[in-house]
Chain A
Amino acid sequence: MANKTVTFEIKRQASPDASAVWERFELEWRPGMNVTTAMMDIAANPVTADGQPTTPVTYDSNCLEEICGSCAMRINGKARMACSALVDNLEQPIRVEPLSKFPLVRDLQVDRSVLFENLKAVKAWIPIDGTYDLGSGPRVYPQQQEVNYPLSNCISCTCCMEVCPQFNEETGFVGAATIAQVKLFNNHPTGKVLMEERLRALAGDGGIQECGFAQNCVEVCPKRIPLTNAISDVGRDVLLQKAKDFFAK
């Protein structure tokens, strides 16, 4: 019996200035195979389906269990994590492209550092006094923990930004992931000290009002974070803050 094969089409681009080409690969199928396994197979035998030698594919990956957030790419048109994209569940040829909303580095690798910059802008941290032994933390009831924990599961994959129609250079929209983190930190008994600063950071251009309620973010999130819910909660708080700031003038 001939070995079963899997067909991939991968968009290749050697550098940000180079032109893009599609390459086709026929790979040996194996049970449980995912898209990152295919990339590893190509690295071990970098030859296209036409027998042309090529280079191993450049892509980001690390944990391979959908918790580090590295391997986001477009697979058959959908933004998702490559490690959890099982070949058996995908229509062939499996078409793999880089995320389209971020500066391309090479092949499937893009620069997503904008998210980390956004997190800085909204002060996504708890302003503790210091790391000395200052006793136990504030009490948090399970009901509160159960709201905060899902928000804290965000893996910074940026899929929610990729699929958002409003996330583009024109609007400068921060995107759903950052807004959900604002909700998380504003919910924390100590974190709320910076609430006003966070809300003001989301009040201007590129802030929360850019959201067009397309709801794509919540559908694509691999961690099922209640993003639209966070956006509406934070949106309300931003409005209240704006009103407060207006009358305080």
Chain B
Amino acid sequence: MAAPRIIVVGGGLAGLAAVIKIAEAGGSVDLFSIVPVKRSHSVCAQGGINAAKNLKGEGDTTWKHFDDTVYGGDFLANQTPVKAMCEAAPAIIDLLDRMGVPFNRTPEGLLDFRRFGGTLYNRTAFAGATTGQQLLYALDEQVRRYESEGKVKKYEGWEFLSAVIDSRGVARGITAIDLRTMELRSFASEAVILATGGIGAIFGKSTNSVVCTGSAQSAVFQQGVYYANGELVQVHPTTIPGEDKLRLMSESARGEGGRVWVPRTPGDKRPVKQIPESERFYFLEEWYPKYGNLVPRDIATRAIHKVVYENHMGIDGQPMVYLDLTHIDRATLDRKLGGILDIYEKFVGVDPHEEPMKIFPGMHYTMGGVWVDFNQMTNVPGIFAVGECEYQYHGANRLGANSLLSCIYAGFISGPNVLTYAKSLPAVEGDGGHAAELTRQDELNDKLLTNEGRENPFKLWRELGDTMTKHATVIRYNKGLREADEKIVELLDRYNNMSLADRSQWANTSFAFARQLKNMLELSRVVVQGAILRDESRGAHYKPDFPERNDEKFLKTTKASFTGLADGPRFEYEEVDTQFITPRPRRYDAAS
């Protein structure tokens, strides 16, 4: 029997982890990625990867990691997969170490660990402040090895457009477009793994990379895949505001001792370094004495919002607060945080060794995503999902340094699961739906290239980003969310009145973007409507009109399905697996 042929879409950490496991087990992989996989968004992850290896004599355990993760996520994550992930973490770190990741070391040559948000343990392994880059490269190198052995074929510069689903509702491959030649093709496979990352682009500016549009997730959602917990979006407390994007300033800055503050006197005119200690308001340390600057991200983000918008204490009246590292010696900073300090200096022009950084919260991570079962398979047989594009590991708020872990863990378990699935897959009938799907895509492409109208896709996108950021990030009101939904409907309508400035059939980036934009719009409705329906506050989802968590009504996974109707998606709710840890109030300000 021929080796099973599997398609992996996306070459970040999760996708590459899946590829490695499949190739190692004898499967053959077609790997699709918009960018060369080494340029995937995982490179942007900075601070580290969590594993309870307990190398600092603190009594850390995988159970504590599990508990911190579930509590940090406000109990919305299914506990069985989270527990398994935390238990697998120490061996994953060892494997990455064997692959040559240049983790920071102790004097004895062992792995060093640092603090991160939402835990009291030194649990985060790190390679300077470019850990995501280093992990991605390690997996990229292993995949290159399999590529040179002929077990992996890369389709870099190809964009996934849709799944091919047969008459029985089983996935039989994908359609994709070559972004250079604009060639549309379908590819057969026994299963498809989506590893297509986050959806930052629907918020306009975020910490995400340009390719993180959620387009692939939205495409399969529109083909019948459930989308879960779409309303749960993480806003990172410390980003560098910019014209084109919000650049991440890693939580590791606080893990290494960075302190967040504003002047006690609003509008204090003195140069920052002349403001004495007693006149600085270290609000996280005052409000959360136990965790201090290392409270989870949703807590820190809301605290900064409160200081800026309720207390009107932002620096110079601007929406910014200080993140201060200047009390730490230069050599330590360079050894542990060099990469992120370089970014700040390059883009802001100020040396963070010498002057506190000015930061503000920004959209960062997508907790929600494609619905999957514990084997990482969606409700459409043969479509699997791993990494940020699925919903499974982080509940209502992700802890820092858990994303690299969840990507690699889910990628790793999906490999064998996909091969098991492929073994029992009945033979394809007819062409498996390939011709029909190609025709559908061809028609969509034609319409886009020939449509006459007045709208520009990039302008529509800016409007989408503005409305999503305003209504669907840190603080949410049903009235605003409904306005956002109306705005999206308006944009969907205007989308039909769009014409492309570029109609060529060669490396046409406007065309590719316009295709993504439609999918972004559809997915935005899932985010906004899911948020309207969740009348409570839980993790990153905060509604001042419903300030408490309501377990009775909302300790449930939101599942959206596409209807194609004017009202938008249909929603249903699923019980959360809480069999190991009974939900308890989440209070980082409490002393216990």
Tell which of B98, B128, B180 touches A149, judged by Cβ atoms closer than 8 Å: B128
In order of increasing CB-CB distance, the 8 nearest A-B pairs are A137-B97, A139-B109, A125-B141, A55-B502, A106-B507, A44-B458, A126-B100, A68-B39
| B145 pairs with A125, CB closer than 8 A | yes
Known: A58-B507, A67-B44, A68-B44. A134 touches B141 (CB 8 A): no
Please report the C-alpha to C-alpha distance between residue A185 and residue B137 in the assembled complex, in whole angstroms: 12
Known: A63-B44, A120-B147, A125-B141. A55 touches B35 (CB 8 A): no
Please report the C-alpha to C-alpha distance between residue A62 and residue B145 in the assembled complex, in whole angstroms: 25
Does A171 reach chain B (CB closer than 8 Å)? Answer: no
Query: For residues 61 through 118 of chain A, which have their beta carbon under 8 Å from a beta carbon of chain B?
Result: 61-70, 83-84, 86, 105-107, 109, 113, 116
- Within the complex, the shortest CB–CB distance from A127 to chain B, in Å, comes to 7
Query: Can you sample 13 A-B contacts with CB below 8 Å?
Result: A43-B513, A55-B501, A62-B35, A62-B209, A62-B211, A64-B247, A65-B245, A109-B507, A130-B24, A131-B21, A146-B335, A149-B102, A152-B127
- Within the complex, the shortest CB–CB distance from B466 to chain A, in Å, comes to 13
Please report the C-alpha to C-alpha distance between residue A10 and residue B97 in the assembled complex, in whole angstroms: 44
- Within the complex, the shortest CB–CB distance from B335 to chain A, in Å, comes to 8
Tell which of B108, B180, B510 touches A55, judged by Cβ atoms closer than 8 Å: B510
Q: How would residues 140 to 151 of chain B score, 1 for a CB under 8 Å from any chain A CB and 0 otherwise?
A: 011011011000
| A142 pairs with B349, CB closer than 8 A | no
| B98 pairs with A126, CB closer than 8 A | yes
Contacts of B247 in A (CB 8 A): 64-65
Please report the C-alpha to C-alpha distance between residue A78 and residue B238 in the assembled complex, in whole angstroms: 32
Q: How would residues 224 to 265 of chain B score, 1 for a CB under 8 Å from any chain A CB and 0 otherwise?
A: 000000000000000000111101100000000000000000
Does B105 reach chain A (CB closer than 8 Å)? Answer: yes
Contacts of B509 in A (CB 8 A): 43, 56, 58-59
Contacts of A68 in B (CB 8 A): 35, 39-41, 43-44, 209
Most buried by A among B108, B180, B244, B346: B244
Query: For residues 81 through 99 of chain B, which have their beta carbon under 8 Å from a beta carbon of chain A?
Result: 91, 94-95, 97-99
Q: How would residues 86 to 129 of chain B score, 1 for a CB under 8 Å from any chain A CB and 0 otherwise?
A: 00000100110111101111111110000000000000000110
Total A-B contacts with CB atoms under 8 angstroms apart: 195
Query: For residues 51 through 102 of chain B, which have their beta carbon under 8 Å from a beta carbon of chain A?
Result: 91, 94-95, 97-100, 102
Contacts of B108 in A (CB 8 A): 139
- Within the complex, the shortest CB–CB distance from B20 to chain A, in Å, comes to 6
Interface range, A side: 35 or more
Q: In chain A, what residue has the closest Cβ to B512?
A: A58
Q: In chain B, what residue has the closest Cβ to A124?
A: B141
Interface size in chain B (residues, C-beta < 8 A): 72
Tell which of A53, A65, A70, A142 touches B39, judged by Cβ atoms closer than 8 Å: A70
Does B130 reach chain A (CB closer than 8 Å)? Answer: yes
Contacts of A178 in B (CB 8 A): none
Most buried by A among B20, B21, B110, B141: B141
Q: In chain A, what residue has the closest Cβ to B412?
A: A131
Query: For residues 25 through 40 of chain B, which have their beta carbon under 8 Å from a beta carbon of chain A?
Result: 35-36, 38-40
Does A229 reach chain B (CB closer than 8 Å)? Answer: no
| B506 pairs with A145, CB closer than 8 A | no
| A116 pairs with B109, CB closer than 8 A | no
Contacts of B39 in A (CB 8 A): 62-63, 68-70, 156
Known: A68-B35, A128-B99. A152 touches B134 (CB 8 A): yes
| B343 pairs with A66, CB closer than 8 A | yes
Does B462 reach chain A (CB closer than 8 Å)? Answer: yes
Contacts of B102 in A (CB 8 A): 140, 145, 148-149, 152
Does B456 reach chain A (CB closer than 8 Å)? Answer: yes
| B244 pairs with A64, CB closer than 8 A | yes
- Residues on A close to B: CB < 8 A? 14-15, 30-34, 36-37, 40, 43-46, 53-56, 58-70, 83-84, 86, 105-107, 109, 113, 116, 119-120, 123-128, 130-131, 133-142, 145-146, 148-149, 152-153, 155-156, 185, 188, 190-191
Query: For residues 547 through 571 of chain B, which have their beta carbon under 8 Å from a beta carbon of chain A?
Result: none
Contacts of A56 in B (CB 8 A): 458, 501-502, 509-510
| B100 pairs with A185, CB closer than 8 A | yes
Tell which of B40, B97, B100, B145 touches A136, judged by Cβ atoms closer than 8 Å: B97
- Within the complex, the shortest CB–CB distance from B147 to chain A, in Å, comes to 7
Please report the C-alpha to C-alpha distance between residue A37 and residue B335 in the assembled complex, in whole angstroms: 31
| A37 pairs with B243, CB closer than 8 A | yes
| A86 pairs with B133, CB closer than 8 A | no
Contacts of A136 in B (CB 8 A): 94, 97-98
Instruction: Tell me what chain A mostly uses at the interface: helix, strand, loop, or mixed.
Output: loop
- Within the complex, the shortest CB–CB distance from B106 to chain A, in Å, comes to 7
Q: In chain B, what residue has the closest Cβ to A137?
A: B97
Please report the C-alpha to C-alpha distance between residue A107 and residue B108 in the assembled complex, in whole angstroms: 52
| A37 pairs with B105, CB closer than 8 A | no
| B43 pairs with A137, CB closer than 8 A | no
Contacts of B501 in A (CB 8 A): 46, 53-56
Known: A32-B243, A33-B243. A65 touches B347 (CB 8 A): yes
Tell which of B36, B209, B335 touches A116, judged by Cβ atoms closer than 8 Å: B36
Please report the C-alpha to C-alpha distance between residue A53 and residue B456 in the assembled complex, in whole angstroms: 13
Please report the C-alpha to C-alpha distance between residue A133 and residue B349 in the assembled complex, in whole angstroms: 45
| A133 pairs with B91, CB closer than 8 A | yes
| B502 pairs with A32, CB closer than 8 A | no
Tell which of A107, A131, A138 touches B20, judged by Cβ atoms closer than 8 Å: A131
| A43 pairs with B458, CB closer than 8 A | yes
Contacts of A65 in B (CB 8 A): 44, 245, 247-248, 343, 347
| B100 pairs with A191, CB closer than 8 A | yes
| B38 pairs with A61, CB closer than 8 A | no
Tell which of B41, B104, B412 touches A145, judged by Cβ atoms closer than 8 Å: B104
Q: In chain B, what residue has the closest Cβ to A125?
A: B141
Known: A36-B244, A145-B102. A105 touches B209 (CB 8 A): no
Please report the C-alpha to C-alpha distance between residue A124 and residue B211 in the assembled complex, in whole angstroms: 26
Known: A55-B510, A84-B347. A67 touches B98 (CB 8 A): no
Q: In chain B, what residue has the closest Cβ to A156?
A: B38
| B210 pairs with A61, CB closer than 8 A | yes
Please report the C-alpha to C-alpha distance between residue A126 and residue B100 in the assembled complex, in whole angstroms: 6
Known: A56-B510, A61-B210, A68-B44. A135 touches B94 (CB 8 A): yes
| B144 pairs with A125, CB closer than 8 A | yes
Q: How would residues 506 to 523 of chain B score, 1 for a CB under 8 Å from any chain A CB and 0 otherwise?
A: 111110010000000000
Does B420 reach chain A (CB closer than 8 Å)? Answer: no
| B38 pairs with A142, CB closer than 8 A | no
- Within the complex, the shortest CB–CB distance from A38 to chain B, in Å, comes to 9
Does B504 reach chain A (CB closer than 8 Å)? Answer: yes
| A67 pairs with B36, CB closer than 8 A | no
Please report the C-alpha to C-alpha distance between residue A109 and residue B36 in the assembled complex, in whole angstroms: 13
| B244 pairs with A37, CB closer than 8 A | yes
Please report the C-alpha to C-alpha distance between residue A113 and residue B41 in the assembled complex, in whole angstroms: 19
Contacts of B508 in A (CB 8 A): 58
Contacts of B95 in A (CB 8 A): 128, 131, 133-134
Contacts of B348 in A (CB 8 A): 32
Most buried by A among B94, B95, B247: B95
Query: For residues 482 through 514 of chain B, which have their beta carbon under 8 Å from a beta carbon of chain A?
Result: 501-502, 504, 506-510, 513
- Within the complex, the shortest CB–CB distance from A214 to chain B, in Å, comes to 25
| B347 pairs with A63, CB closer than 8 A | no
Most buried by A among B110, B137, B156: B137
Contacts of B180 in A (CB 8 A): 105-106
Please report the C-alpha to C-alpha distance between residue A31 and residue B348 in the assembled complex, in whole angstroms: 10
